[in-house]
Amino acid sequence: MNATAESIRLNFTPTLQYVLRIGDTCLIHAQRLAEWCGHGPALEEDIALTNMALDLLGQARALLAHAAQLEGQGFDEDQLAFLRDEREYFNLTLVELPMRRSSAHSPGGDFADTVLRNFLLASWLKALWTQLSASTDSELAGIAGKAVKEARYHQQHAGDWVVRLGDGTAESAGRMRTALERAAPYTAECFLRDGIDSAAQASGLGPARDSLQAVWTSEVNAVLARAQLSWPGATPFVSTGTLGCHSEHMGFILAEMQSLQRQHPGGRW
């Protein structure tokens, strides 16, 4: 029996945490999308969801590799992805929420949640990558310059589905409305500004989240209007994944994601 891997301990700085917020959002979103592998409602969509997961995982890998370099203790992207404790992940809470119905660890999710989440996230990431491609950190700018093209395609694909289901049958429209009500409260976190955002904006590292809201809102509303959907009223709820305080779903995601590297440290194939 192999020894299990210990958690790594990172030396956090605002810059590192800024990069981890983006990298972890891509990583956990990719992990959730990968749950659809082999379960898509049609072969084309199974392939689409996993292809998007692959793009996001590639983006996460590049960002975590860069984060590891910034951190400076010599860790690599795999250690950052698989050997941190829950409180040291800084993704948006939105990407943790269940996406699929009938998955043991994610009751309540639906294909409508998947479609909507992909659209909201791709729109957010596209706005982020667009601004981040002007980062004073040339590696971040390079990663963003590639990723923006991928996010654009994801946004178009997911937007098609939002329109198809929202402007579809009574059943599909109802499920899209439910998905929208579930997701909407978690989008407040996408547009907060805290000290890490302000420091990044001031140094030219990247945009503060609140600066993404105008373009996101206009693009999201344009698609929702075509889909005959409207944004639910605002709620006072604010999620805290970007501070390391996660929903009850995060532990299950990490348990599945990390189990192999925890049991077989450094395992490769």
Partner 1 sequence: MAVDAASRNAAAWAALARVPDPEVPALSVVDLGIVREVLTEASGTHVVLTPTYSGCPATEVISASVRDALEQAGLGPVTISRRLAPAWTTDWISAEGRQRLLAYGIAPPGATCGDASPVRLRPRNVACPRCGSAQTERLSAFGSTACKALHRCLDCREPFEYFKPL
Binding site residues, partner 1, CB under 8 A? 43-44, 47-48, 51-52, 54-59, 61-62, 123, 138-139, 141-143, 145-147, 149-150, 152-153, 155-157, 159-160, 163, 219-220, 222-223, 226
CA 13: distance to chain centroid? Answer: 21
Of 56 and 192, which CB lies nearer to partner 1 in the complex structure?
A: 56
Q: How far is the CB of 44 from partner 1 (least distance, A)?
A: 4
| Radius of gyration of the CA atoms of the chain, in A | 18
As a whole number of angstroms, the distance between CA 216 and CA 222 comes to 10
DSSP conformation class of 85? -
3-state SS of 90-126?
CCCHHHHCCCCCCECCECCCCHHHHHHHHHHHHHHHH
Residue 103: what are its φ and ψ, rounded to 5°? Answer: -95, 135
As a whole number of angstroms, the distance between CA 20 and CA 39 comes to 30
Of 199 and 257, which CB lies nearer to partner 1 in the complex structure?
A: 257
Q: How far is the CB of 255 from partner 1 (least distance, A)?
A: 23
Of 51 and 247, which CB lies nearer to partner 1 in the complex structure?
A: 51
Q: How far is the CB of 138 from partner 1 (least distance, A)?
A: 7
Of 173 and 215, which CB lies nearer to partner 1 in the complex structure?
A: 215
Q: How far is the CB of 126 from partner 1 (least distance, A)?
A: 8
As a whole number of angstroms, the distance between CA 152 and CA 125 comes to 9
Q: How far is the CB of 244 from partner 1 (least distance, A)?
A: 25
Of 60 and 196, which CB lies nearer to partner 1 in the complex structure?
A: 60
Which residue's structure tokens are 């299990």? 4
